[in-house]
Amino acid sequence: MKKVAVILSGSGVFDGAEIHESVLTLLALERAGVKYSCFAPDINQLHVVNHLTGEVDESDTRNVLVEAARIARGDIQNVAELNADEFDALMLPGGFGAAKNLCTFAVHGKDSEVNEDVLAACKAFADAGKPAAYACIAPAIIPAVYPQGVKLTIGTDASTAEALNAMGASHVDSSVDGVVYDETYKVFSTPAYMLAANITEAAASIDNIVSKLVAAID
């Protein structure tokens, strides 16, 4: 059975993993007959956002791994323990946590740095020539993983695309359910909620990228 590692970034669109994208990813993988395992870094979130008001709660701190365990129903491991040799492919759903906890893109833009354990895991798949997929804002991690000129998409946001190009990527505009594939590096990306207006559009995006990811597994 094919196996895919899924890296989550917390729980909640504004400070962690986008819950719809994450659940849709796990559902699409299971429907494709793929076994998945979830991982997340054992670090504190950049901050905690009250998802009812949209305001940062300065009095609260939360752990990315503990919060991501909510989505994984407790079946999750520290990303530092992710062994690429045990999997056929990698998938990263979006949510602001991808740009706040997995890397610093939300704060530092083109000068973003990726969490060292996340970077090591992603590079292990890249170095092994195994396919990987990044959704929503998670493609902000791609320029740190792959060589200059790697093709990716976050949709059509000009300022975000400009920052990614400045990081060494080659951004390609895409529709909400489009998937950009860099054949050289076997990396897929799709806009999902960077463009999706509702869960149906997000599902189309996630279904497409998961389908292409699974098909790319040797």
- ∠ CA 109-115-119, nearest 5°, is 100
pLDDT mean across residues, the chain: 98
187 C-beta neighbours (distance < 10 Å), count: 26
Q: Grade residue 123 by pLDDT with cuts at 50, 70 and 90.
A: very high
Q: What is the mean pLDDT of residues 165-182?
A: 98
- ∠ CA 26-185-162, nearest 5°, is 85
CATH number at 160 reads 3.40.50.880
Q: Classify the C-alpha dihedral 80-86-90-92 as positive or negative.
A: negative
Which candidate in 38, 103, 122, 136 is catalytic? 136
Q: What is the mean pLDDT of residues 146-173?
A: 98
Parent domain of 28: 3-216
Residue-wise pLDDT tens digits, 65-109: 999 999 999 999 999 999 999 999 999 999 999 999 999 999 999
Q: Is the pLDDT of residue 218 over 90?
A: no
Domain count of the chain?
Answer: 1
Q: Which residues of 3-31 are buried (b: 16+ CB within 10 A; e: fewer)?
A: ebbbbbbbbbbbbbbbbbbbbbbbebbee
How would you classify the pairing of strands 170-171 and 3-7? unpaired
Q: Residue 38 catalytic? A: no
| DSSP symbol at 198 | S
Helix (H, G, I), strand (E, B) or coil at 174: coil
Model confidence, pTM: 0.98
